[in-house]
Amino acid sequence: FKFAKSASKIVGNRNFHSTSASLANTTKLFINGKFVESKTKEWLEVRNPATQELVTKVPVSTKEEMEAAVKAASDAFPAWRDTSVSNRSRIISNYKNLINKNMDKIAAIITEEQGKTLPDAKGDVFRGLEVVEHSVNVASLMMGETVENVSKNVDIYSYVQPLGVCAGITPFNFPAMIPLWMFPLAIACGNTFVLKPSERVPSASMFLVQLAQEAGVPDGVVNVIHGGKEAVNFICDAPEVRAISFVGADQAGRHIHARGTANGKRVQSNMAAKNHATIVPDAHKERTLDALTGAAFGASGQRCMALSAAVFVGESKNWIPELAERAKKLKVAGGATPGADLGPVISQASKERIHELIQSGIDEGAKCILDGRNVVVDKEFSKGNFVGPTILTEVKPHMRCYKEEIFGPVLVCLNVDTVDQAIQLINANPYGNGTAVFTSSGAVARKYQREIDVGQVGINLPIPVPLPFFSFTGSRGSFVGAGHFYGKTGVQFFTQIKTITSNWRDDDISHGVSSSMNMP
């Protein structure tokens, strides 16, 4: 095989890629503060989705390697837990600065492995960086509660304490943001961590742990193993792991939740989505169509919060041709090409699945008014996994293209007569990640926000991902678990509360034995 020529140019010294002749450019593991070469015989290829060039090969970690990673995390826990919260916060602050400084390099790695455009890849890093920034405030986030004098001389107070070893399993679509949702907050709270990045985009995670080490995160506090299902099952079963953070598709998410909780672990599992936009005829037309175009086709539809279903209320359906005009103008090219709006989708298999779902819509009676299946791209990307913007209209809820998450640049359009019907339709969909309503009526917006059964709602805003002082609150089929990512609930997920009831008296009176429950 031939490795992509650009691979080593982007970041310069990639400690995490092997330079040994026999393992050229393979990805290493990160165990107890060292980048180590795997002894595995099984390697998974990572190809640039715009060109098919081989970027790196990822090891399927051996059992011994995974055990070593968990042991390192377990051994590092007591000293890290006892590191003062101010010093932990200082290290996270250094980390924040290093991520900021290296944003362009991380973005370049993402574009090379995942395919998204460079500006969008920077957004991927930036949205993760915001969670790191918030984690710097960990001392305030971990404050307990006190009530004085609950009985004579008796006070009650609580401490928020770390759990121990936590683990994270991440998807391909946000190679920086989602790992950064997980380990920085977990370690800020005093936990140690084992990360298993998506085997399709490992290098952003590896660079992020390289930077964490530079920031002063001690050996063993963050570790990385690689692989697929076996690594995931190892994490679900490892007795030392107290909590698992997962983001990805439904099958793995439900499996990890079931297996992890059966083993007594906390699990937070963010899964798939079908996010609806409701377009009310009184909305600002130009702004709405701009927002819809960006949110449906940006990142080639491979965002869990992509607006992939548009529900046109009444006469707003007459705007669809103008939406198609906007979508047609989007430039499809390799993500590093200046001016590119859409990069490739992640794999050939994903491209084929998207094509197949478009065809299923047509076969079931939808109209394809914009077909991106034969999109033409520059010659240098002729082998890439490109799908152009696609719009299916007259879609009905029973169609597969509506029922399944397509995860490609495909917008399915449905028509209803009233806002009530739109709400009913959306509430009947099993997913509850995000939704947006476009309207100029405060009364309609308020009705929508109250009655819609979806965890994250945008009003005249297409992708309502909350900032880290709130939490990522996807609901129903899009989430299962013990607490949402980041924000207050994120801190609760990574910590446990110890409550102390103390009785300090300044007399030497004894009240004798009492065998009944004390009344205050």
Nearest alpha carbon to residue 448 among 472, 476, 422: 422
Site for ligand NAD contains 473 (CB under 6 A): no
Q: Which is nearer to ligand NAD, 134 or 196 (CB)?
A: 196
Site for ligand NAD contains 224 (CB under 6 A): no
Q: Which is nearer to ligand NAD, 387 or 444 (CB)?
A: 387
Distance of CA 255 to the CA centre of its chain: 18
Site for ligand NAD contains 206 (CB under 6 A): no
Site string for ligand NAD, 371-410 (x = CB under 6 A): ----------------------------------x-x---
Nearest-5° Cα angle at 347, 342 to 352? 95
What residue number has its CB nearest to ligand NAD? Answer: 248
Enclosing H/E stretch for 44: strand 43-47
At which residue do the structure tokens 């990512």 appear?
A: 485
For the bound state, the minimum distance from the C-beta of residue 197 to ligand NAD, rounded and expressed in Å, comes to 7
Which of the stretches 129-137, 196-204, 371-379, 454-462 binds ligand NAD when contact is defined by CB under 6 A? 196-204
Q: Phi/psi at 149 (nearest 5 deg)? A: 60, 50
The SS3 assignment for 168 reads strand
Measured distance CA(256)–CA(475) in Å, rounded: 17
Reading phi first (left if > 0) and then psi (alpha if -120 to 50, else beta), residue 141 is in: alpha
Site for ligand NAD contains 474 (CB under 6 A): yes
Site string for ligand NAD, 283-322 (x = CB under 6 A): ---------------------x------------------
For the bound state, the minimum distance from the C-beta of residue 247 to ligand NAD, rounded and expressed in Å, comes to 5
For the bound state, the minimum distance from the C-beta of residue 61 to ligand NAD, rounded and expressed in Å, comes to 12
DSSP letter, residue 217: P
For the bound state, the minimum distance from the C-beta of residue 137 to ligand NAD, rounded and expressed in Å, comes to 23
Contact positions with ligand NAD (CB under 6 A) in 428-447: 433
Instruction: Please tell me which residue in 166, 189, 236, 304 is annotated as part of the active site.
Output: 304
Site for ligand NAD contains 215 (CB under 6 A): no
Measured distance CA(331)–CA(351) in Å, rounded: 18
List CB contacts of 414: < 8 A, sequence separation 6 or more.
Answer: 309, 310, 311, 312, 395, 396, 397, 402, 425
Contact residue for ligand NAD among 271, 289, 336, 399 (CB under 6 A): 271
In sign, the C-alpha dihedral spanning 190, 191, 192, 193 is: negative
Site for ligand NAD contains 167 (CB under 6 A): no
304 is catalytic: yes
For the bound state, the minimum distance from the C-beta of residue 469 to ligand NAD, rounded and expressed in Å, comes to 18
Site for ligand NAD contains 199 (CB under 6 A): yes
Q: Phi/psi at 26 (nearest 5 deg)? A: -75, 160
Enclosing H/E stretch for 412: strand 410-416
Q: Which is nearer to ligand NAD, 115 or 190 (CB)?
A: 115
Contact residue for ligand NAD among 187, 247, 283, 419 (CB under 6 A): 247
Contact residue for ligand NAD among 44, 54, 249, 258 (CB under 6 A): 249
Q: How many residues bind ligand NAD (CB under 6 A)?
A: 29
Give whole-number Cα distances, 322 to 278, 343, 413, 489, 503, in Å: 17, 23, 13, 41, 72
Contact residue for ligand NAD among 272, 296, 332, 358 (CB under 6 A): 272
Q: Do the strands 266-270 and 34-36 form a parallel or antiparallel pair, or are they unpaired?
A: unpaired
Measured distance CA(232)–CA(362) in Å, rounded: 37
Site for ligand NAD contains 228 (CB under 6 A): yes
Question: Known catalytic residues?
Answer: 304
Residues that bind ligand NAD (CB under 6 A): 169-174, 196, 198-199, 228-229, 232, 247-249, 251-252, 255, 270-273, 304, 405, 407, 433, 472, 474, 478
